[in-house]
Amino acid sequence: MNLGKGDALAWGCVMNAEDPAVLFMTNVGQMKRVHTEEIVFGNRPMKGNLICKRLKTNPSIVTLATAVSAGEELVFKDPERQVIRASEIPLKPRESGFGSPIVLKDGWDLYRGIDECRIIDIPTDADNEVHEDVERLSLFDEKEG
């Protein structure tokens, strides 16, 4: 990332090129989806992507960016529970403003849950014995010699 004077990193989002869209949210709960194809990926330092027009009177402060698919449900807590499908969030060009498909109260939060949980089977012939005779190494051991 090549940040200049006055630039700030708003959010980092790990995603795949196959992800259909990215959800962007602001601090006041406004949101929009952007097609993944509109997000410029690069392997060299770059300024990043402009996500909306810069407005001096009503600036948009991005507080969340995450990959979403159209059928995905998003659960918000504000303190009541509100559920919205990603397809109900406007799909807009990258430079356009945000919309408000639902009204969120102050203090809202997006419930993220667990993305992936893998159950790994332990082989039946696995050794469950705790071995005390294993040599333990430390980064702080003094060098010999």
pLDDT tens, residue by residue, 66-105 = 889 988 899 988 888 889 999 999 999 888 888 888 888 8
The string of pLDDT tens digits covering residues 40-68 is 776 666 666 777 777 778 778 888 888 89
Is 37 within the bounds of a domain?
A: yes
91 within domain boundaries: yes
Let me know if residue 78 belongs to a domain.
yes
Does the pLDDT value for residue 13 go beyond 60?
A: yes
Work out how many domains the chain is built from and give that number.
1
**Strand locations in the chain, DSSP E?**
21-26, 31-35, 62-68, 73-77, 81-85, 109-111
pTM (two decimals): 0.66
Residue 82: what are its φ and ψ, rounded to 5°?
A: -125, 135
CA atoms of 90 and 96, how far apart (whole Å): 11
d(CA 58, CA 40): 26
Q: Which domain holds residue 103?
A: 21-111
Residue type for 17, please?
A
The three-class DSSP label of residue 69 is coil
Structure tokens at 101: 């498909």
